[in-house]
Chains A and B, each alone.
Chain A
């Protein structure tokens, strides 16, 4: 125990003797995050999706689709431009809009008389988030239209048919009759709708909108970008100690190898927690992370970062030379950073890539730290992530020990 403590203090002393390296670990992700924040404009106006609408139906219902995009919170994210088909195709191909929506002829009849009909949405492949917003919004609008049709289909058909037959506005009696029938339908459904299920859906939508803000989108990944860099850098210390001869000297003492390695990892864990704490304080100050969420998020980041160190350390001892080992860890570091949600958030990745990325150790850690910082963490995914990360890190630790007892020291 005395030696474990001495070895931890020794490694911390050595690290603190080089404060520039520590600042780099924290500074690089902060600079990267700052630049991303400026680009995304977290403090300025939110980016708007530009939707082109080709309305081939020119009906009451097709007009409602367009109007839905101009109402309430949706209007903050959506700029709708009505165009004809040729103009729409030209603009979307030139990448001048986020998406093109084509409302086909006969759409109103299809909706009101329950006949098959399809809206066509062409998205801009150069953009990820904004077309995603449009697609989600459109799905919700269609769902709403479906329920409207179910509830008030007869009354709506009356309005449309009457407008078509009279070529003008319905009579006062007709309006009163339709209003009375709508009111009766609402009264019958009151038990089901109040408290309305739709309220819950609206709340979920509000949270989804928040996900596109800088903090929740980038902050968890940036924390682990920092920890990935820390762990890769610290893992190379095993080679530095080997080259210096201090590792061989340590192995010649009466201490067990697992204590030596454990002390190294424990010292690194302390540094990881410090780095995570600094990042979380920035999160509290700049990205509205609730202070009560900080301790658990820091603990998780420390755990995840230490596991990453174990993986990198294992890769280091597999290398035939220090240079080779560093290349090996770098070859793992960058793909892990890219696919594991540190460089690009999962939300803007293609779905197949996000699915793979979420199951990488870094991805599991990023997903859970995000939940701990900004959402309500769920016990089951957290436990699953803990087990996967913990067990694989343990395997890497024992693999590292085995290699150290073998050729690493004497080669």
Chain B
């Protein structure tokens, strides 16, 4: 279990994480969803002991990460965003080294290394140098190095960045296996689909603050039946905003080239939306309509796309 209470991390005047509080349970996946620079990796850094929190308290299975850092770290497995591997060593040697870093050794380590190689699908490439691996294979080995010691708590910091769809499916399956084994997983991502597919509970984070938190259903309820409408073209933002709000739409963002709004039953209201924009002197060149999702919730909350 991970308990984070009022976590704050500050670098000079820059507040990277501000008053973040959440609890991740064993056998569950807790997701931190937010764009790049939102504070997800800083939060992971504080939990893993790499960064010292400015204030607040973090405990891993009851061990305070500042006061009892060695014991806290003993329970943790980490899969960092970067490929933290020795490319001039074999897959087997990489796994053995990270296993030894958690105090494993002898036959138990050798057996576990072989087991993990099979789990991540690299059993037949065990002796090969990592530099010869594809990006997807490296990602899987990176994951394997995080679970070699059978951690009770697993921190996954954007583990699927830059991988092909096939490897992504495989990695997500590996995460589910760990949860099925009783591990507590903290998963950070900026991929909405991944968060929706994997996480039992989620916190949407931006500029270091948690905006909303809950299960997927709870978060969807926050959106209601509001669809997300994206329009691009030429607009008079102020005039368009006035007209659209009169229609009952909620304008998340508006500028001279794009408009984002949430509105109930958007498909039926599209002709009225186009009329309002035309009347305000604007011109629509492209339209997209998305049903309620985490992404539309994020746009509604921040006025920005998740990947911006």
Contact = CB atoms under 8 A, between A and B. Distances in A.
A251 B78 CA distance: 11
Contact of B102 (A18, A245, A251, A254): A254
A410 B83 CA distance: 17
B191 interface: no
Contacts of A409: 50
A6 interface: yes
Choose among A13, A17, A252 the residue with the greatest number of B CB atoms under 10 Å from its CB. A252
Interface stretch (B88-96, B171-179, B269-277, B285-293): B88-96
B89 A248 contact: no
Interface in A98-138: none
B189 interface: no
Nearest to B74: A254
B89 A13 contact: yes
B101 A6 contact: yes
A2 B105 CA distance: 7
B82 A3 contact: no
Contacts of A5: 100
Choose among B70, B71, B101 the residue with the greatest number of A CB atoms under 10 Å from its CB. B101
A251 B86 CA distance: 15
Given A17-B88, A18-B88, A245-B83, A3 B100 contact: yes
B48 interface: yes
B88 A244 contact: no
Given A10-B86, A409-B50, A410-B50, A254 B80 contact: no
A250 interface: yes
Interface string B67-111: 000110110101011111111110001001110111101000000
A246 B89 contact: no
Nearest to A252: B48
A244 B93 contact: no
Contacts of B82: 244-245
A251 B108 CA distance: 23
Interface residues of A, number: 24
A410 B102 CA distance: 22
B278 to A, nearest CB: 53
B45 interface: yes
Contacts of A384: none
Contacts of B121: none
Contacts of A3: 100-101, 103
A139 interface: no
A192 interface: no
Nearest to B106: A2
B93 A2 contact: no
A386 to B, nearest CB: 33
Nearest to B69: A254
Nearest to A244: B84
B97 A7 contact: yes
Interface string B256-268: 0000000000000
B101 A253 contact: yes
Given A248-B50, A409-B50, A254 B89 contact: no
A244 B83 contact: yes
Contacts of B71: 254
B100 A2 contact: yes
Contacts of A18: 88
A255 interface: yes
21 contacts: A2-B105, A3-B101, A6-B96, A7-B97, A10-B97, A14-B89, A244-B82, A244-B87, A245-B80, A245-B81, A245-B82, A245-B83, A245-B84, A246-B86, A248-B50, A249-B84, A249-B145, A254-B102, A409-B50, A410-B50, A410-B51
Given A244-B85, A253-B73, 13 more contacts: A6-B96, A10-B89, A17-B88, A244-B83, A244-B84, A244-B86, A248-B50, A249-B78, A249-B98, A252-B76, A254-B71, A409-B50, A410-B50
Interface of B: 45, 48-51, 70-71, 73-74, 76, 78, 80-89, 93, 96-98, 100-103, 105, 129, 145
